[in-house]
Structure 1
Amino acid sequence: MSTRFFLTVSAVAVLAAAPLGAARAADEAGSSPSDQGGGITDIVVTAQHVEESAQRAAIAIDVVSAEELVRQAVSRPEDLSKIVPALSITNNGGPYSVFFVRGVGNSTLNAYSDPGIAFNYDGVYIGRPSSTSGTFYDLERVEVLKGPQGTLYGRNATGGAINVIPRRPQIGETSAEFIASYGNYNALSAQGAVNLGVSDSAAVRLSGNYVSHDPYLDDGTGDLDEFGLRAQLALELSPAADLRIAADYAHQGGVGSFSTYLGSATPNFSMSGFTGYTFNPTDFGPKNGILSPESQAWAGSLFVRQAGRAGRFTSGVPYNDNDYWGISAELNVDVGAGTLSVLPAYREADLDNLFTAGMNGAKTREKDKQTSLEVRYAGNIGDKADIVVGGYYFSERIKTNTYFSQFTLVPYQDFETGTDSYAAFGKLTYELAPGFKLTAAGRYTWDKKKFDGVSDVYILFCGNPGANPPNLCPTLPFIPLVDSAAELRDFYADAGIPVVNVPLYVLPPMAGGSQTAPFVLNAPLTISDQKLDNEKFTYRLAAEYEFSPTSMVYASYETGYHSGGFAFAKGLETYDPETLDAWTIGTKNRFANNTVQLNIEGFYWKYHDQQISQFGYDLGTPPTTVFLTRNIGQATMYGFDADLQWLATPNTMLGANIQYLHSNYDSFTYYVPNQGPPPPTTCGTSPTSQVINGSTVSLYEVDCSGKSALNSPKWSINLFGEQTIPVGDDYKFVVQANGRYRSAAEIDGSFNPYLKPGESVVANASVAFGPEDDKWSVTAFVNNIGNDRRLSTVSMVTNVNAFIGTFEPPRTYGVRVAMKLP
């Protein structure tokens, strides 16, 4: 590990420990101890559908408190990556967030494939990764479950689940709270909540938030402008029944899309043929956006072989205009030995956005509707057994109109897709002997999916793309950024360029063929009435033993399942389900009169028929660049997590979270069209052919077996410290510092070494002042002190072999105020 890491560790330690002398002097002078004077505080979780201490739950779980969410300025899903070492969440432009846990996830961006990590908001599974924004305010906590959730969580939880849990109305309480911050980049964040005790049996909670900041990039992209509203009504219907109804709305605006050109790969040839690629970096920094004059000039200098010319310039202006809303209810009825819970929910999303990452413009108009119902019973059987049984139903309907204008290619897609998922689940825990418990759990899931759509594809050519040297068409207009195929046809009709259904270079001259004339090929793809039925039984077997009220060990074996789906790609129209087998062993402990907490967990995961989503070619004739999901093989992940918290004095908390992760793709093969040189990758490539829809297609087999899994740094280490300094009897300073180290990791499916992020260190610090009763506080904070801008995503612009990437946020700082009433 680098010197930078150890310097940051030292800085965090100094910031955390510097006030110790003052704190001890104050304590010796007789001032009141902090709220944590009784030891480390327990956090109650509901990850297993029952209330229990996170420290007593025999599962792999990380919990982020409401206070930590505010301190780390968590306003979007990807901000959670700053806190949880096992978690990697990146934003791929617009509303699209990609989730990975311990190297398992799915880069799903389209509406016809599902995410590999289950995102649950207020107990409701969110089917689209584009609908996870606007929820991070007025929260009780966030639970991150690591590993397959094949029993209690019903949909697509191969690698884990993220549970976002809002604060609930409190009957008999009238209160209000407000938090606001302002910082550089004109960053404004405000959230507030009002709890109204309407009667002895009813309460209402109203909450909302607003977050915004100026662009992080010099082309005006990378900004944020979002707000959300939530209303909840809680009713005690009787001593044995309670009901909560919740409704929420969120809007995402602003520019959004943010990317930087990283460089291009140039093929090299000798007398013996192709000899490899040379990477030509742009040397642009992370502040340079692809719409800046420098980037436009660089992109315009690249020769586009297929069009026979250079001079491509991005004209799209990215934007977000996305709305989300939902309504849900939770009814709990005490039925004697247990509780019956019923959770119906309905949600909608209206997406209207455009992003320009590597394209002239990718525009989406989409309507998502989902309905879900969960019914479960949790209770006891005698004094030895606990049981959870239930059923789950999920229905999703999506209608989308979208296009991906890529200068030489544009598919105009209209499609509808639907999912109906049914599940029955159960869990039984039996205390075989004092402190020794065995658990068996299982879930049967049945997914029915359908897909109908048309992709009207247009591909621009300057004569025969296989000509060597390439044909030249210096005045041939690139595909324009227009919203419909009719507009595109009119554009080329006015330019005198034919739009044809058969490539001109395959026709004889008497039929209008030409090896040099420019043309636009129209190659529509229709997928009608496609259906998939996937079903799977997943299960969990576990054992736990409590040595004492503060120490336990546990072990488990569980399976996970992620349904198959569709791809708008010729020859690759469907893909199979993926599964995961996971072994876990761990221990959770409190020592030294509840002032030291040490949790250690080891894991071993085996992945089968893994799904990977990325931009690539389909297997059509000619091939089309599409975003697709495919099964690429097997993978193995193993490692350990260690969590240490030490309440060194009543006013001093120190801690560390460490994850070691070894990941390996045991088999990782896929195919791309053979259009001359092999694709730019360090994976093995070999020419081959396949029969696709009755036609023989020349391909390259790409073999990335043996590579490390994507988004899987070998080491992830978080350090934190908090020191409370009493000021007299009534006030206090709270000094906090934390740092995160991550080793190098693969993020590019081509595994090019020049696009692999190196190790990085991010340190944050804050100083707060306020009264002992926490009724108000004023905090000065700085995040990413060293301004470390780690590369977080990479994709390739295929028509010029150029690479674009996104970087993590820059240094931010500001002031935050908080107030509670009464």
Structure 2
Amino acid sequence: MIKKILWSATILSSAIVPQMVFAQNTQVSDGGLAEIVVTAQRREESLQKAAIAVTAVTGDDLTRSGITETSNLGKLVPALVVQPTGGTTSFFLRGVGTNSQNSFSENAIAFNFNGVYVGRPTAPAGVFYDLERVEVVKGPQGTLYGRNATGGAINVLPKKPVLGKFGVEGLAEYGNYDSKKGFLAVNVPFGEVAALRVAGQVVDRDGYISDGYDDDKGEAVRASFLLKPSDIWSINIVGDYYHQGGKGGGAVLLPSKAFAVPSVNDRVSISDPRALAAINGYASTLFAPPFCAGGFITSGCIENARSDGYLDNHFYGLSAQVDGDMGFATLSVIPAWRKSEADFRTYLPGFRGEIQDNAEQMSLEMRLTSAADQRLRYVLGGFFFNEQQDTLNYFRQGRLSTTRFTPRLKTQSLAAFGQLTFDITDALRLIAGGRYTQEDKSQLTASAGGGLPGPVDPPLGIPVTGDLRFNKFTWKAGIELDAGPASLVYANVATGFKSGGFYVAAPPTNSFRPESLTAYTIGAKNRFFGNKLQLNIEAFYWDYKDQQVTFVGGVQTGNGLFAQGSLTTNAGKSRIFGTEIEARFAPTRDDLFNVNVQYLNGKYKGLQTANFSPTGAPVTTGCSITGSRLANPGINSARFYDIDCSGKPTVNSPRWALNMGYQHSFHIGGDMVLVAGVRSNIETSRYMNSNFRSEEKQGSFMMSDAFLTLEGPQDKWSVTAFINNIEDKEVLARAGTRPILDFPVGTLRPPRTYGVRLGFNL
């Protein structure tokens, strides 16, 4: 296996080095490529000296790319797949992630804002403005990170106030789909010891699909106060608020062998009359009467998707970081509070979801970080996390069932951690780290389910309680070697785990176990030719066990019968290996070539699920059906079908992903610069869902962006014209089959967008 990895790395190196291209912008100075400082290992260090796989995207890169939504981050980081749906967001890194179906899910890629872990998949929204950088750390982070970082972590770091300097910067943008964005930040100093930075953003864009879904509407504000009374102590307090509105994410029908649907190229929503006609035509061959014309009717028809979906979500955050220089080490204390109030309505064919989810979390992290000049360096700390989630879920599945349940979940996590680095010589270092985590979860859930037809408001049954406790020790061991003045070689073994929990919908048998991952990594980071060429390469092998898989299965309703619903189980194990290469080349101060190439080979060594059919008809799958049985004997014809997908490729795992770009600066006089840039993202095919239906497979594609920016003297102002997805390619962000009938549906990445952007910095 290692031989295969090294052979892949050799082939990639020989193919890439002559081209010298990459995807993200890097500041270029007369001395070559500039350094990027990251904190991915909880201390400030050069990106080229961090012996881990991390991609850093600066705030300027995000602005040039027009990224104000979490869902677009993946186009700058090929290893990352972002899946928005309804009111939640899922992340996958190198084939590892969580297919979030509801707000109870927890991502396997830890999302951290301003150094604070964010627990809910509804909450990674409204933070992509006024940023210092975004760090995407690949691989299990079982030592230095708080919770659930099986496959990696995303660190979003806002800009801090600047002492002793008044400043104002802003940006206004207008584009097609009536897209309007406005951003303003003000930095106000209070002498030389304190400063306040206030930033805000407003986004308003029409939807990308025919009935207005896939829009983007929101208002955000963030205030940061920095106090540094001495060289020893500093405190940075950050408060933020975001309101997310609009209709939310939508869906389109995917091509099906069973019935004709509108072309995906036309971006026809599932609530569009053209899609409804196709749905009703197919449903009439299976059911009588067909889908309802509108609204939930108890006479027996099945509810159609409608255009009245909405988001009305509010997110609040308050955190502080206190740093004290103790001489031998720096003490950091990070208390934080976050609250999300999600209220949204979402549709799929034959299915309406209405969710009100209130989640409140508190956390406290304390770290002691040694000075950088010691032979034995360390990061030691403790972590506390507490979250309470109160939710009302109302799922209407037409004539088949109506489900209402009110889960109340509590989570408490305690951890102690440490990572040591010891210098054997000036060039050779050993790394060892560990983390012990204890996590307690409890539920108090009442539910109800209706039959044929279901009542509009079924009464809740007797609440069901449950308690879970998980204990886990995760660790890391590695070695680093400075192979030259600007060359680093490293190898490590690291473990990570994601705790188990409740999938809530079917108490009391509704729990799943933790999952774990062990990663073996070798890599090298290099700079050549007077700092003009950067070439980084990493090969990895991941062993993934007790994999938590979320799918549409059978869950028990309030009357004890099984109905179709989302459940999570430890259904799989997989192995994933591959190679990633990043290269940057700045032959002059005006030219920059970039490339990022990833080869990924993922395979399920075992993946078994029991899919549910409410009608008893065989389920459609690309896997083997090994058996079936009645779900509700003597009541109806609903059946379970045992599905074996062992040997299939891991989902969201394109075999090849290539991101390349080039930019050039033209000095046109008057201290003005014209910057032209282009980048392309090329990916091979991948399955989007663990059911492996052919309709749920995204084929190979290429998407390209371009921009042209005129920068004024001393970067005081700028004017940018941009176009994204030049090819106007329809690319799936997510795909699945839910829930009543055999309708494959998908969400799409943005179509071709273009516009103009005006910025200033005073």
Q: Same fold (TM over 0.5)?
A: yes
Confirm or deny: 8 A CA contact 2:28 2:586 kept in the other structure: no
Change (3 A) 1:718 1:632: same
Aligned to 1:296: 276
In the alignment, which of 494, 507, 516 is matched to residue 579 of structure 1?
516
Distance in 2 (CA, whole Å) between partners of 1:554 and 1:562 is: 26
1:82 aligns with 2:22: no
Equivalences for residues 93-242 of structure 1 within 5 A: 93=86, 95-242=87-234
Question: Which residue identity lines up with residue 376 of structure 1 in the other structure?
Answer: R
The offset of 1:15, in angstroms, is 13
In the alignment, which of 599, 609, 612 is matched to residue 546 of structure 2?
609
SS at match of 1:70: helix
Distance in 2 (CA, whole Å) between partners of 1:783 and 1:112 is: 34
In the alignment, which of 584, 591, 600 is matched to residue 528 of structure 2?
591
SS at match of 1:485: coil
Aligned to 2:406: 414
Change (3 A) 1:59 1:286: farther
Distance in 1 (CA, whole Å) between partners of 2:70 and 2:462 is: 35
Confirm or deny: 8 A CA contact 1:169 1:234 kept in the other structure: yes
Change (3 A) 1:656 1:35: closer
Confirm or deny: 8 A CA contact 1:257 1:357 kept in the other structure: no
In the alignment, which of 388, 393, 398 is matched to residue 402 of structure 1?
393
Distance in 2 (CA, whole Å) between partners of 1:681 and 1:49 is: 44
Distance in 2 (CA, whole Å) between partners of 1:381 and 1:719 is: 35
Distance in 2 (CA, whole Å) between partners of 1:357 and 1:86 is: 29
Question: Which residue identity lines up with residue 92 of structure 2 in the other structure?
Answer: F
Aligned to 1:703: 644
SS at match of 1:371: strand
Aligned to 1:684: 624
Q: Deviations over 1:581-618 (max 9, x none)?
A: 00110000000000000000001001000011233323
1:555 aligns with 2:491: yes
Aligned to 2:593: 654
The offset of 1:619, in angstroms, is 6.3
1:666 aligns with 2:666: no
Change (3 A) 1:591 1:14: closer
Change (3 A) 1:366 1:388: same
Q: Deviations over 1:739-782 (max 9, x none)?
A: 00010000022211233111010000011112352111111110
The offset of 1:804, in angstroms, is 1.1
1:773 aligns with 2:709: no
Q: Deviations over 1:546-575 (max 9, x none)?
A: 012210100110001000011223685110
Distance in 1 (CA, whole Å) between partners of 2:28 and 2:70 is: 30
Aligned to 1:499: none
Distance in 2 (CA, whole Å) between partners of 1:356 and 1:800 is: 14
Distance in 2 (CA, whole Å) between partners of 1:451 and 1:630 is: 17
Query: Which has the larger Rg?
Result: 1
SS at match of 1:171: coil
The offset of 1:296, in angstroms, is 1.6
SS at match of 1:754: helix
Aligned to 1:460: 452
Distance in 2 (CA, whole Å) between partners of 1:797 and 1:667 is: 24
Distance in 2 (CA, whole Å) between partners of 1:151 and 1:744 is: 34
Q: Which deviates the most, 809-818 or 315-324?
A: 315-324
Change (3 A) 1:783 1:758: same
In the alignment, which of 650, 664, 671 is matched to residue 723 of structure 1?
664
Distance in 1 (CA, whole Å) between partners of 2:410 and 2:552 is: 23
Distance in 1 (CA, whole Å) between partners of 2:586 and 2:568 is: 47
Aligned to 2:361: 370
Confirm or deny: 8 A CA contact 2:351 2:739 kept in the other structure: no
Change (3 A) 1:527 1:615: farther
Q: Deviations over 1:421-466 (max 9, x none)?
A: 00000011000012101000000011100011122111326xxxxx
In the alignment, which of 40, 51, 59 is matched to residue 66 of structure 1?
59
Question: Which residue identity lines up with residue 209 of structure 2 in the other structure?
Answer: L
Aligned to 1:25: none
Q: Deviations over 1:759-813 (max 9, x none)?
A: 0100000111123521111111100001011122112134321111111111000
Change (3 A) 1:673 1:321: closer
Confirm or deny: 8 A CA contact 1:118 1:161 kept in the other structure: yes
Question: Which residue identity lines up with residue 768 of structure 1 in the other structure?
Answer: T
Question: Which residue identity lines up with residue 411 of structure 2 in the other structure?
Answer: T
The offset of 1:367, in angstroms, is 0.9
1:357 aligns with 2:348: yes
Aligned to 1:505: none
Distance in 2 (CA, whole Å) between partners of 1:525 and 1:550 is: 66
Confirm or deny: 8 A CA contact 1:250 1:323 kept in the other structure: yes
Equivalences for residues 173-572 of structure 1 within 5 A: 173-264=165-256, 266=258, 280-303=260-283, 308-312=288-292, 313-315=304-306, 317-380=308-371, 383-407=374-398, 408-460=400-452, 482=456, 484-485=457-458, 528-567=464-503, 568-569=505-506, 572=509
The offset of 1:140, in angstroms, is 0.2
The offset of 1:626, in angstroms, is 1.3
Aligned-pair identity (%) = 36
Distance in 1 (CA, whole Å) between partners of 2:337 and 2:712 is: 43
SS at match of 1:804: strand
The offset of 1:262, in angstroms, is 1.8
Question: Which residue identity lines up with residue 82 of structure 1 in the other structure?
Answer: K
The offset of 1:348, in angstroms, is 0.7
Question: Which residue identity lines up with residue 685 of structure 1 in the other structure?
Answer: I
SS at match of 2:240: strand
Q: Which runs of 5+ in 1 are unaligned?
A: 1-8, 17-33, 267-278, 462-478, 487-523
Question: Which residue identity lines up with residue 387 of structure 1 in the other structure?
Answer: Y
Q: Which deviates the most, 306-315 or 167-176?
A: 306-315
TM-score by length of 1: 0.85
Change (3 A) 1:264 1:729: closer
Confirm or deny: 8 A CA contact 2:84 2:249 kept in the other structure: no
TM-score by length of 2: 0.91
Confirm or deny: 8 A CA contact 1:359 1:404 kept in the other structure: no
Change (3 A) 1:158 1:304: farther
Distance in 2 (CA, whole Å) between partners of 1:354 and 1:92 is: 11
Confirm or deny: 8 A CA contact 1:286 1:806 kept in the other structure: no
Aligned to 2:44: 51
Structure 1 vs Structure 2 CA RMSD: 2.4
Confirm or deny: 8 A CA contact 2:466 2:508 kept in the other structure: no
1:737 aligns with 2:678: yes
The offset of 1:227, in angstroms, is 1.5
Change (3 A) 1:322 1:214: same
The offset of 1:648, in angstroms, is 1.7
The offset of 1:188, in angstroms, is 1.1
Q: Deviations over 1:609-644 (max 9, x none)?
A: 001123332367642111221111211110011001
The offset of 1:282, in angstroms, is 4.4
Aligned to 1:91: 84
Change (3 A) 1:717 1:14: closer
Distance in 2 (CA, whole Å) between partners of 1:671 and 1:116 is: 23
Question: Which residue identity lines up with residue 58 of structure 1 in the other structure?
Answer: A
Distance in 2 (CA, whole Å) between partners of 1:692 and 1:588 is: 59
SS at match of 1:285: helix
Distance in 1 (CA, whole Å) between partners of 2:401 and 2:115 is: 42
Question: Which residue identity lines up with residue 762 of structure 1 in the other structure?
Answer: M
Q: Deviations over 1:146-195 (max 9, x none)?
A: 01000000200001100000000111111111112111111111212111
Change (3 A) 1:97 1:691: closer
Q: Which runs of 5+ in 2 are unaligned?
A: 1-14, 293-303
Distance in 2 (CA, whole Å) between partners of 1:302 and 1:690 is: 25
Q: Which deviates the most, 551-560 or 787-796?
A: 787-796
Distance in 2 (CA, whole Å) between partners of 1:387 and 1:402 is: 46
